[in-house]
Chains A and B, each alone.
Chain A
Amino acid sequence: AQSVTQLDSQVPVFEEAPVELRCNYSSSVSVYLFWYVQYPNQGLQLLLKYLSGSTLVKGINGFEAEFNKSQTSFHLRKPSVHISDTAEYFCAVSWGGYQKVTFGTGTKLQVIP
């Protein structure tokens, strides 16, 4: 069965420091990869997505992610975080031609002033 793993449930980081949120998925043929952000009591907002092409994807709010097929990973990075980045981040994967999307369990990013 397809699966998505976000190993870190919480990541504390100081303001202006870099951050990496990890995401691994079970191997398969073609995949589509997504990162979403959720602020308290709100829906999910799309940060970035990989459908094809360049493996380095840039998104909103200064985030980027790199698709690594050999390691089946899609880690999210930001070089310098702000207080406003405090939120929960979800990695999601859909496998080509399949209507369902599988979500990871989420990583709470806590930015410390």
Chain B
Amino acid sequence: DGGITQSPKYLFRKEGQNVTLSCEQNLNHDAMYWYRQDPGQGLRLIYYSQIVNDFQKGDIAEGYSVSREKKESFPLTVTSAQKNPTAFYLCASKATETQYFGPGTRLLVL
């Protein structure tokens, strides 16, 4: 089955802790994206990557970091510098102008 997987489904972060959200795709797509979703605000772009070993900041990159060492994987780290991390995080990949989304990870702060 081709698709995008995100893990974990729920993640809890303690004060001052870095946490990493996983995103894997087997669709052979070059481009991958991370979005943050807050109620009433739609989706906001955190980072995106058009190709392996390359990525660009989106609109709200502060407090986040990414890597793209493999085509299939685009993990997102929420650092301690992100003061308001509670949100629903969505990963997507893109082919022929169309984005396809994973099931999301909900990050909560303890």
Chain A residues engaging chain B, CB cutoff 8 angstroms: 9, 32, 34, 36, 41-46, 49, 51, 90, 92, 94, 99-101, 103-106
Contacts and interface: CB of A to CB of B under 8 A. Distances in A.
B42 A105 contact: yes
Contacts, number: 52
Contacts of B106: 41
B104 A42 contact: yes
Contacts of B81: none
B75 interface: no
A43 B99 CA distance: 12
Contact of A44 (B41, B90, B94): B90
Given A100-B48, A105-B41, A34 B104 contact: no
Please indicate which of the listed interface residues A32, A36, A44, A103 has the most CB atoms of chain B within 10 Å of its own CB.
Answer: A44
A101 B40 contact: no
Question: How many B residues touch the partner, as a band?
Answer: 20 to 34
9 contacts: A42-B103, A43-B4, A44-B43, A44-B90, A44-B92, A51-B97, A101-B94, A103-B43, A105-B41
A34 B94 CA distance: 13
Given A90-B42, A90-B43, A99 B50 contact: yes
Task: In the A-B complex, list the 6 residue pairs whose CB atoms are closest, starting with the nearest.
Answer: A43-B101, A105-B42, A44-B101, A103-B43, A103-B42, A43-B103
B85 interface: no
A87 to B, nearest CB: 14
A46 B50 CA distance: 21
Nearest to B43: A103
Contacts of A101: 33, 94, 99
